[in-house]
Copies of this chain bind each other. A is one copy, B any other.
Amino acid sequence: MRSVQDHLAAVLGAVGPVAPLDVVLADAVGCILATDIAVELDVPQAPVAARDGYAVAAYDTADAGPTSTRTLPVAHDVLVGSPAALRLAPGQAVRIASGAPLPQGADAVVPVEETDRGAARVALQRPAVPGQHVRLPGSDARAGDVVLAAGVRLGARQLALAATLGRGRIRVHPTPRVVIVSVGDDLVEPGSPRREGRVYEADGHALETAVRDAGASARRVGIVSDDRATLREALEDQLVRADLILTTGGLSEYAHDTVKDVLAPLGTVRFDHVAMTPGHRHGFGTVAGLGGDGAVPIFALQGHPVAAQVSFEVFVRPALRAMAGHADLFRPSVTAEATVGWASPPGLRQFVPALVVGSPDDGYEVTPVGDPGVPSVTALSRANALAVVGEQDTAVRPGQRVHCLVLEG
């Protein structure tokens, strides 16, 4: 048997970030930036107004005060789209919009709220201070500054900056494309009539969601027969569309389970018993595309939905994060005090669906959902964490501190 740690190390050793690609802004959403973005020109390029109001020369307003309103003629307007900064004649004011370039000769902006909003003449009630409500060239970023560094995740605020700088395309690690194949003649689609001995296909639907939650893109192929030729053809068809393939089911020792046989000639896939529960049977390796354009990593997971979900969390999710270029591969975890005790099989790392409650200040408590010895989809659906019990432990005592992977938030 292979340890969880060894299997995870093998998985992470075999995958790396998807090769960088220039994509349009809309496709960069959520991706990791592959190269630094530097600004080409000072931001702002010229002095601009920070508020809607009137651009003035501060010395023209020196004698304004509550008892001696200073009135200036308004020469014209400067809007954000105005092509070039105009000149402010001495003793005059110019209506200006927030973000518009300051006219030459102006050195301050009086916010519209502090004036009588005049169109032909404007009355000011206090002197302007030179530089007030003016953004100086380069005050936000100087030409050459790296404002978005390689490795950053491109969320809304980072895209706002890239767009503001005029970048229409960005070099990113593209979102990994994951193809999900559910293997087994015993499977039927949810929504079809109940038939004795048939099992509703759950893994594909659940993994599609889990893959998307991990920030990758998912393509669920659906149910594929465990007939060798059919399964082989289905996998070969998908190789061109996939950065990673996930199969579920077809891993038992029984003759009708064919995943091992089919994968063996397609690439270098290793099948292991991993010292964990649930989900000890694991296939992992790479399969070669027909065009010979590199090897595609593949995970063969057990079909039981709890085994498949736990294996996804422990091995597949970190691999997807690595392929997407994230530095931080793992879910957050907390140490929580067990409210009850339970048994854990010796020699296996046990992952128990559990509810973690508490707060950073008061600490956390963890309670298994359902019977820790029995993998239950119902229990997993109510859990917000996986309690992790080490290989050496044969039991968790009430009050014992347990490491928990937090699945939500």
B202 touching A26, Cβ below 8 Å: no
Within 8 Å CB of A162, what residues of B? 190, 205
Min CB distance A254 to B, Å, is 6
Within 8 Å CB of A186, what residues of B? 79-81
The yes or no answer to A5 lying at the interface (CB within 8 A) is no
A52 touching B253, Cβ below 8 Å: yes
B83 touching A157, Cβ below 8 Å: no
Partner of A147, one of B77, B332, B381: B381
For A95, the closest partner residue in chain B by CB is B254
Partner of A197, one of B30, B43, B81, B220: B81
B98 touching A377, Cβ below 8 Å: no
A304 touching B98, Cβ below 8 Å: yes
Copies of this chain, count: 2
> Which of A60-68, A122-130, A133-141, A318-326 forms part of the interface with chain B?
A133-141
B-contacting residues, A139-155, CB 8 Å: 139-141, 147-148, 154-155
B-contacting residues, A86-122, CB 8 Å: 95, 97-99, 101, 112, 117
Alpha-carbon distance between A24 and B43 when the two chains are bound, in angstroms: 48
Min CB distance A35 to B, Å, is 16
B155 touching A408, Cβ below 8 Å: yes
A252 touching B97, Cβ below 8 Å: yes
The 5 listed contacts between A and B (C-beta, < 8 Å) are A98-B252, A117-B253, A159-B205, A161-B381, A166-B190
